[in-house]
Structure 1
Amino acid sequence: MASLFFTFLSLLFTSLLLIVLISQKNKKTGAKSLNLPPGPPGWPIVGNLLQYARTGKSFIHYIRDLHPIYGPIFTLRMGSRTLIIVTSAQLAHDALISQGQAFANRPAENPTRSIFSCNKFTVNSSELGPVWRSLRRNMVSNMLNSTRIREFQPLRHLALDRLVHRLRSESESNPDGSVWVLKNVRFAVFTILLSMCFGVQMDEKDIITIDRVMKRVLIALTPRLDDFLPLLSPLFAKQRKEAMQTREEQIRVLVPFIHRRKSELKDPANGKKTVSFSYLDTLFDLQIDGRKSSPSDIELVTLCSEFLNGGTDTTATAIEWAIVHLIEDPGLQEKLYKDIVTVTGERNVEEKDVEKMAYLNAFVKELLRKHPPTYFLLTHAAVEPGAKLGGYDVPNDANVEFYLPSISEDPKLWTNPERFDPERFLSGGEEADITGVTEVKMMPFGVGRRICPGLNMGTLHITLMIARMVQEFEWFACPPSRRTIDKSEKLEFTVVMKTPLQSTIKPRNRGQTAKI
């Protein structure tokens, strides 16, 4: 322990010396000072890190407290990183739509994240340029267009049938009829995405193994103190080693499925494909602008992992929050059920049905307004020096963060924004373009050049799963006598309930209620 302490002191002294030398150099060269947005004053080296740590709050709640003080755009210095926090719809539209090209980059990655992204070889992490254009064009054009998404309809309906069966079995095995919502929904979504991604048969053991590895990856990517204070990196050698071991396990688990799919494509008689087409198929011979070779096995692992992680927790989290609102407002649940069975009658809901369900679609839009999957978009960065936003300078090495609740809960944009009210999109006459093209009032999937390529698929999965779950079951608190639900939040890649939702379900009598 003593040796670690002296190592820290040594690194601290070195950093202070460097700061002094750089400061003197800037004075001699007359380096221009930047007009950054206002923000809380910080300490040398650590910036605002200590102030944040003292609050004991999660970062999403820390920003919620600062927003009323510093306004629509402010600066935080978190160790070696400068964060520009944007909290207004007007500035978000300016940055991501009006100046979309200028703010479409990604900042430098920490070393741990680079291990898992193959040095930014993913759609979400790559810098604006030929790699990003090639990867995104492939994902959107060859995998996530409306025609391709429809091809996977049988997979989704099979997964929904299994979800209903899992929920019914779990409820029957528990004396109080309870089920864990997030766990079951997450498994169903993950199963769909695995089949879409790899296109090969997997048993439940394979699915659980891959899911476990992907959860470890997300944990390894959680920001650490040395991400903000690199001088402390010697103190986190153990964590870096564990991250490397997780990466090795990720590669070891996923590569065999990549090879299996490649083998089945070459010789269909060699195995039985789950689907005739998969995301992986688009990647084997993908030509990246500026590169001579197609992606390596390790790069394929990275791209497949992005596909899985990007669509699993975001969808599952939204559905858990949906069930919370259905439990708290039985009248809302009844309206939603009537909307569903008016279209479907006694048969199971199908994908072609959901676009006819006005209340269901209003419910999902309100869900995404109140509970975007994360409270921050993926971090943006200015492409070139000299960028400006709201009259302030934005250095191209700064992290530009967009805080969503201050926009989707802005009383200047919404009537009674604190209320969960799907009616606002019906008789209330309110509207919002979630792509942000016409205006920004909510952006659960981002807007502009870096908008989430899985927007349509994610919305479909959320809408269809809610419809089927409400069609099959009535949802109650656990125990049913409970009057309130703890809606405290925490950040785990997505914004989840601090206490996972356990619900009591009651199968509906489909034959009778279909006559409504």
Structure 2
Amino acid sequence: MDAWSIIFLLIPIFLSGIIAFLLFPSKKLPLPPGPPSIPILGSLLWLRHSISLFNIEILLRKFRSELGPIITLRFGSQPAIFIVDRSLAHKALVEHGASFSSRPPPSSFSRFHNSRILNISSSPYGDQWRLLRRNLTSKILHPVKINLFAPGRRWVLDLLLNDLQTRSEQSPKRAVVAMESFQLAMFALLVLMCFGEKLDEKAIREIETAQRELLLYISKYMRVFAFVPKLLSRYMFQGRLRTLARLRQRQIDLFLPLISARRENQKQAREQRFVYSYVDSLLDISLAEEGGSQLTDDEIIPLCSEFLIAGTDTTATALQWIMAEITARTAVQAKLLEELKGINEEEIKEEYLQKLPYLKAVVLEGLRRHPPAHFVLPHSVIKDVEFEGYLIPKNASVNFTAADMGWDEKLWEEPMEFKPERFMAGGDGEGVDITGNREIKMMPFGVGRRICPGLGLAILHLEYFVANLVRRFEWAPVDGEEIDFSEKSEFTVVMSKPLRARLNPRRKVY
């Protein structure tokens, strides 16, 4: 057959295909609407500047009025779906929580070598995730278990107060960059809970530095792996992979002796330990899917790293934001101090916290106005699902704008103002459910089955340290300086310029 004969035969087939498409359109659901995208780059041209969470937030706010509350952006070949409405977020994470409770596939660099498992936050929904999360919540984060660490919190409080006192006395204006002290204190406490050891300051700082350098390198230099095919990335970014391997090896070298020490201590009576630690619980785990085998050191290390990261940066960041607001607002500080005067002891002990409603209001308002993360960790559906008339494909990244949901003008009066009174009787935040089970008004810890398991611990730490920092010092702006409340994104959303405050020891007020 010549070419013209083939063409004449294909024309009817081509026309019939067009007619069938017009008469019988595909029943496959569309993805949520989004801006135009191009191959490989996806929607990146709409960002105009760097790929950052702030630029994505601005873009989503722009498109919400045009495209609706569910938006698709493409970063590379994979769609990223953003749900920017609190009611739809509740529907997805609570009403359809089982469907939206998985995680997207991990990036090619995220697994530790020779590891059968991911950490809790990255694990897909399933038996392994349930086992690891149940271990954490029952062995370490249960309220009874948390109380066992009360002596450790008092030890860290003394370290923090003494560190702030020393820094203040050595400064001409008694000015202190508080975040440095906050991070060291929170990290010391989480190291104690993780490894069961009171390490000295040098050892704590070594671990903290290794953790922070690894974390910042991943957040700054490894995002490109989400946009470049895996095969190409291995050749194009060998230098980054080598640096990542070096940083991880440094972490391994610091963690292994501590894990080995706990393994040796298992041979001794439990009563001889300071407290049952997170590592102890991991050493006790047996993996049913692996024939009852124990976790290896390579599998324990990323779980320990996750524990330290999740409990340190988010809490220290929230603590800095809250203390910055207290420093800038003398009326808030005075009202909080007046409430604390009812406790006639030097330390505001943990058992007194339930009797301090204004303290709770200050902490909740800090989390609403300055959530440490503006997006919760990406979710994923376990299989293709229909949601609000759209297709949510399996393995696609499903994201929720946690910060914007806490700033909704329909719910909150003057949402960008810091007003703790809104959480008192008669306020627009009275009785708010921070877990979001009933209704999402704010979600600094996420919502649903993937809600942060450390929610209770974080609230306890914030209330305990805020109360004692205000009891011990008067916090005031440094003469001639204004507190800058602008933001920047690191692992968490931090103050662009860390808080500098003038600390004056208080006279006894009890």
Give the TM-score normalised by structure 2: 0.89
Q: How has the CA–CA distance of structure 1 residues 184 and 213 changed in structure 2, closer, same or farther, with 3 Å as cutoff? A: same
Return the offset for 1:217. 2.2
- 1:51 is aligned to 46
Matched letter for residue 456 of structure 1:
G
Q: Which AA in structure 2 matches 1:283?
A: L
Matches within 5 A, 1:43-192: 43-52=38-47, 54-56=48-50, 58-70=52-64, 71-115=68-112, 118=115, 120-192=117-189
**For 2:201 and 2:228, how far apart are their aligned partners in 1?**
42
Query: Counterparts of 2:90 and 2:45 in 1: how far apart (Å)?
Result: 32
How far, CA to CA, are the matches of 1:331 and 1:426 in structure 2?
Answer: 16
C-alpha contact (below 8 Å) 1:89/1:407 kept by paired residues: yes
Match of 2:324 in 1: 324
Q: 1:117, 1:302 within 8 Å by CA — same for their partners in 2?
A: no
> Deviations 1:344-368 (Å, cap 9, x if unpaired)?
2242110011111010001111111
**How many angstroms apart in 1 are the aligned matches of 2:288 and 2:35?**
43
Counterpart of 1:433 in 2: which secondary structure?
coil
Does the C-alpha gap of structure 1 residues 116 and 365 become closer, same or farther in structure 2, counting only changes over 3 Å?
A: farther
Question: Which runs of 5 or more residues in structure 1 are unaligned?
Answer: 1-26
Which stretch shifts more, 324-333 or 97-106? 324-333
Q: Which amino acid aligns with 2:83?
A: V
SS at the partner of 1:415?
Answer: coil
Change (3 A) 1:288 1:366: same
Deviation, structure 1 residue 268: 5.8
Q: 1:209 aligns with which of 189, 203, 206?
A: 206
Q: Distance in 2 between matches of 1:31 and 1:383?
A: 23
Q: What does residue 284 of structure 1 align with?
A: 283
Q: How far apart, in 1, do the equivalents of 2:114 and 2:502 lie?
A: 40
- 2:290 is paired with a residue whose SS is coil
Number of matched pairs: 477
Task: Find the aligned partners of 2:484 and 2:60 in 1 and give their Cα distance.
Answer: 24
2:306 and 2:56 map into 1 onto residues whose CA distance is 28
Distance 1:340 1:388, change over 3 A: farther
Q: What pairs with 1:91-490 in structure 2 (closer than 5 Å)?
A: 91-115=88-112, 118=115, 120-222=117-219, 223-230=222-229, 231-267=232-268, 273=273, 275-292=274-291, 293-342=293-342, 344-385=343-384, 387-430=385-428, 431=430, 432-478=432-478, 480-482=479-481, 484-490=482-488
1:41 matches 2:42: no
Which one has the largest radius of gyration?
2
Aligned to 2:14: none
Displacement, 1:442?
0.7
Q: Which moved more, 1:90-99 or 1:195-204?
A: 195-204
Q: Residues 400 and 41 (structure 1 numbering): CA distance in 2 closer, same or farther, change over 3 Å?
A: same
**In terms of mean alpha carbon deviation, does 421-430 or 135-144 score higher?**
421-430
Gaps of 5+ in 2: 1-20
Q: Counterpart of 1:85 in 2: which secondary structure? A: strand
Alpha-carbon distance, 1:402 to partner: 0.6
Superposition deviation, residue 264 in structure 1:
2.2
Residues 118 and 302, structure 1, Cα contact 8 Å, conserved in 2: no
Secondary structure at the residue paired with 1:436?
Answer: coil
- Distance in 2 between residues matched to 1:289 and 1:131, nearest whole Å: 9
Report deviation, 1:232.
4.8
> 2:499 matched to which residue of 1?
501
Question: Alpha-carbon deviation of 1:404?
Answer: 1.2
TM-superposed deviation, 1:301: 1.0
Return the offset for 1:117: 11
Distance 2:322 2:198 in 1: 31
8 Å contact from structure 1 (residues 201, 272) kept in 2: no
Bigger Cα displacement from structure 2, 142-151 vs 232-241: 232-241
Identity %: 39
CA distance in structure 2 between the partners assigned to 1:118 and 1:332 by the alignment:
49
The more displaced of 376-385 and 64-73 is 64-73
State the distance in 1 between where 2:348 and 2:177 align: 23
8 Å CA contact retained: 1:198, 1:278: yes
CA distance in 2, matches of 1:105, 1:31: 28
Deviations 1:162-184, CA, capped at 9 Å, x for gaps: 10000000010111101111110
Q: Deviations over 1:203-235 (max 9, x none)?
A: 222111111111122123214223212245532
Q: Distance in 2 between matches of 1:454 and 1:346?
A: 28
Q: Distance in 1 between matches of 2:86 and 2:58?
A: 15
Of stretches 195-204 and 253-262 in structure 1, the one that deviates more from structure 2 is: 195-204
Contact kept in structure 1, 2:186 and 2:315, CA below 8 Å: yes
- For 2:204 and 2:287, locate their aligned partners in 1 and report how far apart those are by CA, in whole Å: 30
In 2, Cα distance between the equivalents of 1:257 and 1:99? 41
Given that 1:72 and 1:88 are in contact with CA atoms closer than 8 Å, whether structure 2 keeps it comes out as yes
Instruction: Please say if residues 113 and 221 of structure 1, whose CA atoms lie closer than 8 Å, have aligned partners that are also in contact.
Output: no
Q: Which amino acid aligns with 2:282?
A: L
- Whole-angstrom CA distance in 2 between matches of 1:311 and 1:118: 23
Matches of 2:282 and 2:378, distance apart in 1: 26
Secondary structure of 2:474's counterpart equals: strand
Name the CA distance, whole Å, in 1 between partners of 2:210 and 2:304.
13
Q: Distance in 1 between matches of 2:196 and 2:444?
A: 29
Whether the 8 Å contact between 2:103 and 2:123 is mirrored in structure 1 is yes
CA distance in 2, matches of 1:470, 1:212: 28
Q: CA deviation at 1:34?
A: 4.3
> Is 1:374–1:444's contact at 8 Å kept on the other side of the alignment?
yes
Q: Tell me if structure 2 keeps the 8 A contact 1:200–1:272.
A: no
Matched residue SS, 2:237: helix
**Is the partner of 1:466 in helix, strand or coil?**
helix
Residue 44 of structure 1, CA deviation: 2.1
In 2, the alpha carbon distance for the partners of 1:416 and 1:146 equals 35
Structure 2 letter corresponding to 1:426: M
C-alpha root-mean-square deviation of aligned residues, in Å?
2.1
Q: Give the C-alpha shift of residue 390 in structure 1.
A: 2.7
Secondary structure in 2 matching 1:105: coil
Q: Aligned partners of 2:244, 2:346: CA distance in 1, in Å?
A: 48
Does structure 1 conserve the Cα–Cα contact (< 8 Å) formed by 2:112 and 2:302?
no
Q: Report the residue type matching 2:308 in the other structure.
A: L
Structure 1: how far apart are the matches of 2:203 and 2:27? 57
